[in-house]
Amino acid sequence: MLGDVPDSARIMCEEPFAPVAPISSFRDEDEALARANALPYGLAAYVFTNDAERANRTAEGLETGMVGINEVLLATAEAPFGGVKESGFGREGGALGVTEYLEPKYIRHRLLKTA
């Protein structure tokens, strides 16, 4: 965990794939969302709060493919895994992940009348 990390710090502007948690303060929920959504990445975000309404509002407002609320372990076989923005397109895993491997075909068939 890294405390009091400024927005200009490299770790706040990149997408680290490491067990690290940079922490910075914010004035209100709107500021936190604006700062998080300003990044070009959107794989996962995490919200820690005892307020269920705030948790839902924040999860909906975050521009990420996955959100953990009071939880850091997001990957599971039953859930789709993937991000948005520069963090990827599409999902793998879960029922949504299967659709990436399907080739849907539409067929319309009308029977002709015979004499």
Q: Left, alpha or beta for 4 (phi > 0: left; psi -120 to 50: alpha)?
A: left
pLDDT of residue 114: 84
Low-confidence ranges of the chain (pLDDT < 70): 100
What pLDDT score does 13 carry?
92
Query: Distances in Å between the alpha carbon of 23 and those of 2, 4, 36, 72?
Result: 6, 6, 12, 15
Q: Where do the H-state alpha helices sit in 62-102? A: 94-98
**For residue 38, what pLDDT is reported?**
96
pLDDT of residue 53: 94
How crowded is residue 41: how many other Cβ atoms within 10 Å of its Cβ? 19
The secondary structure of residue 85, as a DSSP letter, is E
C-alpha distances in angstroms, 115 versus 24, 88, 110, 111, 112? 79, 57, 16, 13, 10
Beta strand 66-69 pairing with 44-47:
parallel
Contact 6, 51 (CB under 8 A): no
- Reported CATH class of domain 10-101: alpha beta
> What pLDDT score does 109 carry?
81
